Amino acid sequence: MATENIVSIIKSLGDADSHEIFEMLMKGPVCGCKIGEKYGIDNKGVIAKVAPMVDAGLIDVTEGHEWNKYKINETQMCILNKYFNDQIDACRSTGCKCKCGENCC
């Protein structure tokens, strides 16, 4: 996975609202109306709020007549998971320890 893509995904989760929406979507697909209800915004507002995650490929959107439906892009999540697991494996292979003093890798 390209570094730019990893950075884009992490940036897309960079605020509390995005993180909350991501957690909602981790439970399954969500209608934009539910996101709109939570934040008191209309469909256009929801589209703007989720745009960074959609642009990063973290979530997929299905356009609806009145509201869009959102879900986690499972392929992207698997790639992201592999990236972080590879980083942990690299840490383990060098015997590094976290700054907390524990070998938590």
pLDDT of residue 91: 78
pLDDT tops 80 at residue 92 = no
pLDDT of residue 104: 60
Domains in the chain, please, with CATH? Answer: 3-94 (1.10.10.10)
Q: Give the residue-averaged pLDDT of 3-8.
A: 82
Note whether 31 and 46 are within 8 A (CB): no
Among 81, 83, 82, 49, which residue's Cα sits nearest to residue 68? Answer: 49
**Cβ-count burial of 102 within 10 angstroms (0-12 exposed, 13-18 middle, 19+ buried)?**
exposed
Highest mean pLDDT among 5-9, 58-62, 75-79: 58-62
pLDDT tops 60 at residue 83 = yes
Beta bridge partners of 94: none
pLDDT of residue 89: 79
Gap between the Cα atoms of 41 and 21, Å rounded: 14
- Dihedrals phi, psi of 62, to nearest 5 degrees: -115, 120
